[in-house]
């Protein structure tokens, strides 16, 4: 556990001492808040659901961008050879990377708290829906990060890692959209919606917290972390 | 101290190491020589646990060991050829990060970083960004990380490549000094360098050891090297 935290701390430090970490966070906030407030007074509802829907979509761009270097750069600069010859296992390295990224994303999500407080002052929002929105975004982030770290472990080129996870997450997001699902026969609609992370996250953001959704997010995260560990171990072949 | 017996390694269907056997005695510098692609780095990666051998055994003080075992890894200091460093870190941040992963406690951290930075003479640049340092200083920072935790075996892959003549002499002097209480496996392309600092020489060609000898017993190393690696 100690090694995992050392790696996580190092990752977190990299994002907070690098201008890119701030640029991504500010861009995400500005775009999501701008689009949210563009319709907020027209909708006349004290709810953050539309903000979370926007954040879920933007995360499929934002998370590949911040996770692309996580392992690809270690490979590119040879530091993974140093790390994996220290008393540190592949599992500790991957979990450290994952946790560092998750802490960073949760910190960015905390920047939405002022909007939540504003909403509490100007209306009477459903607290369950507000918390569900935060929770779904954290679960979704964990799943997206696991996917991004896996893509980053496949190559030493961070741009390639970005494109792999971007295409994968955008497609996954697309499969959960109603305009796509409504064109499918029922059994295919059920399969595609079940496999879509954004579809599960939207259930949360409407205040419906089910065990199936939680298990889905956790399974997705664990599967991709295991794939990342296997990808690192495949250097022997 | 460390003994390799009949180590074989293949990638896909290509065998890159064939029955590699040799020993690194206590407090000796063993020079690993060979042309590009001979298998020097693969041997070093197997010793340090970055790669696993398909066959063969490694013995540390006569006991069979798994190089991936964290307790064995903490006895080794490895300097890869690529000289890996985090360019946005300062040497003190980098060394503290590596020290923590080597299991050095927070209370001993400052003392340990100070000790290795004095050994490699980098105390004057400890708080500068690594990206701003000269190649010689970068090499010394990487070497300092190798020395953290007082490892008993140093595995140095092309430790002097890219350095200017003065820096090469300094690094050689340092390696000689370190060999007083450590065993060292040192790979190089430069034959005079092997002659200058090694006690024992290994020449590897196409994945096989073709010479394993005391350096004093080898006459005309250049000629021998050309003969054996043709």
Q: Residue B217 contacts by C-beta under 8 Å, 6 or more apart in sequence?
A: none
Within 10 angstroms of residue A92's Cβ, the number of other Cβ atoms is: 22
Helix and strand element counts for chain B (H, E): 8, 10
Q: What is the pLDDT of residues B124-146, one digit of tens each?
A: 888 999 989 888 888 889 989 99
Within 10 angstroms of residue B52's Cβ, the number of other Cβ atoms is: 14
A18 touches chain B (CB under 8 A): yes
pLDDT at residue A225 is higher than 90: yes
Q: Which residue from A36, A232, A224 is spatially nearest to A141, judged by alpha carbons? A: A224
Within 10 angstroms of residue B229's Cβ, the number of other Cβ atoms is: 16
Positions of chain B with pLDDT lower than 50, given as ranges: none
Distance from the A65 Cα atom to the nearest Cα atom in chain B, whole angstroms: 19
* Cα(A145)–Cα(A64) distance, integer angstroms: 8
Facing B102 at nearest CB: one of A17, A77, A86: A86
A82 touches chain B (CB under 8 A): yes
Q: What is the pLDDT of residues A71-114, one digit of tens each?
A: 999 999 889 999 999 998 999 999 999 999 999 999 988 888 88
Q: Which residue from A183, A169, A165 is spatially nearest to A140, judged by alpha carbons? A: A169
* Cα(A74)–Cα(A80) distance, integer angstroms: 5
pLDDT at residue A51 is higher than 80: no
* Among A11-25, A91-105, A146-160, the least confident range: A11-25
- Kindly determine whether residue B101 and residue A85, on different chains, have CB atoms separated by under 8 Å: no
Q: Residue B16 contacts by C-beta under 8 Å, 6 or more apart in sequence?
A: B9, B10, B39, B42, B207
Cα-based distances in Å from A145 to A26, A39, A40, B36? 19, 29, 29, 39
Retrieve residue A128's tokens: 């369950």
Retrieve residue B80's tokens: 């890869």
Q: Is the dihedral of CA B41, B47, B53, B57 positive or negative?
A: positive
Answer for the pair B53, B87: CB distance below 8 angstroms, yes or no: no
| 3 state DSSP class of A48 | coil
pLDDT of residue A150: 96
Retrieve residue A125's tokens: 């929002």
Which has more confidence, A120 or B129? B129
Task: Give a three-class secondary structure readout of B204-224.
Answer: EECCEEEEEEEHHHCCCHHHH
pLDDT of residue B223: 77
A234 touches chain B (CB under 8 A): no
Segment A119-126 shows an average pLDDT of: 77
Domains annotated on chain B, with CATH:
1-75+152-230 (3.40.50.300), 85-151 (no CATH)
From chain B, the residues in CB contact with A77 under 8 A are: 82, 84-87
* Highest mean pLDDT (candidates A10-24, A113-127, A141-155, B153-167): A141-155
Retrieve residue B201's tokens: 């020489």
Facing B80 at nearest CB: one of A14, A82, A89: A82
Answer for the pair B22, B209: CB distance below 8 angstroms, yes or no: yes
Exposure string over B68-106, b if 16+ CB within 10 A, otherwise e: beeebbbbbbbbbbbbbbbeebbbbbbbbbbbbbbbbee
* Cα(B1)–Cα(B154) distance, integer angstroms: 12
Retrieve residue A30's tokens: 């500005």
Domain chopping of chain A, boundaries: 2-236
Facing B51 at nearest CB: one of A3, A88, A236: A236
pLDDT of residue A46: 67
A19 touches chain B (CB under 8 A): no
pLDDT of residue A128: 76
Cα-based distances in Å from A133 to A100, A198, A211? 22, 12, 16
Answer for the pair A85, B50: CB distance below 8 angstroms, yes or no: yes
Cα-based distances in Å from B158 to A123, B45, B137, B189? 67, 13, 15, 8
């Amino acid at each position: 556990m100690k090694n995992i935290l050392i790696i996580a701390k190092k990752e977190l430090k990299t994002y907070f001492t690098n201008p890119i970490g701030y640029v991504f966070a500010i861009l995400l906030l500005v775009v999501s808040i701008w689009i949210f407030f563009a319709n907020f007074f027209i909708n006349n509802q004290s709810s953050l659901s539309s903000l979370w829907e926007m954040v879920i979509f933007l995360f499929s761009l934002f998370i590949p961008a911040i996770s692309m270097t996580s392992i690809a750069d270690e490979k590119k600069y040879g530091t993974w050879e140093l790390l994996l010859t220290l008393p540190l296992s592949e599992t500790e390295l991957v979990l450290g990377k994952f946790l560092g990224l998750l802490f960073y994303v949760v910190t960015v999500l905390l920047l939405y708290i002022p909007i939540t407080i504003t909403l509490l002052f100007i209306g009477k929002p459903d607290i369950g829906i507000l918390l569900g929105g935060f929770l779904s975004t954290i679960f979704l982030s964990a799943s997206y990060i696991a996917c991004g770290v896996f893509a980053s472990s496949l190559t030493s080129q961070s741009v390639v890692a970005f494109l792999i996870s971007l295409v994968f997450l955008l497609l996954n997001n697309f499969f959960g959209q109603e305009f796509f699902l409504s064109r499918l026969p029922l059994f295919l609609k059920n399969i595609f919606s079940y496999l879509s992370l954004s579809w599960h996250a939207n259930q949360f953001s409407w205040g419906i917290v089910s065990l199936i959704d939680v298990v889905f997010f956790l399974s997705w995260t664990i599967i991709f972390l295991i794939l990342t560990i296997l990808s690192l171990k495949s250097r022997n072949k | 101290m460390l003994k390799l017996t009949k180590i074989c390694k293949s990638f896909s269907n290509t065998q890159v190491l064939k029955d590699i056997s040799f020993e690194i005695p206590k407090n000796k510098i063993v020079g690993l020589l060979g042309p590009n692609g001979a298998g020097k780095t693969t041997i070093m990666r197997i010793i340090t646990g970055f790669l696993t051998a398909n066959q063969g055994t490694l013995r540390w003080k006569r006991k069979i060991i798994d190089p991936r075992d964290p307790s064995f890894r903490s006895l080794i200091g490895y300097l890869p050829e690529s000289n890996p460093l985090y360019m946005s870190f300062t040497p003190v941040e980098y060394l503290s990060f590596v020290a923590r992963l080597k299991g050095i406690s927070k209370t001993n951290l400052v003392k340990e970083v100070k000790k290795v930075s004095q050994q490699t003479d980098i105390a004057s640049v400890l708080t500068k960004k690594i990206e701003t340092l000269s190649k010689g200083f970068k090499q010394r920072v990487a070497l300092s990380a190798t020395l953290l935790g007082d490892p008993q075996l140093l595995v140095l892959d092309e430790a002097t490549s890219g350095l200017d003549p003065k820096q090469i002499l300094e690094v050689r002097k340092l390696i000689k000094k370190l060999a007083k209480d450590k065993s060292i496996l040192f790979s190089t392309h430069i034959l005079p360098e092997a002659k200058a600092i090694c006690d024992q020489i290994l020449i590897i060609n196409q994945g096989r050891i073709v010479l394993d000898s005391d350096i004093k017993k080898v006459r005309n190393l250049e000629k021998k090297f050309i003969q054996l690696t043709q």
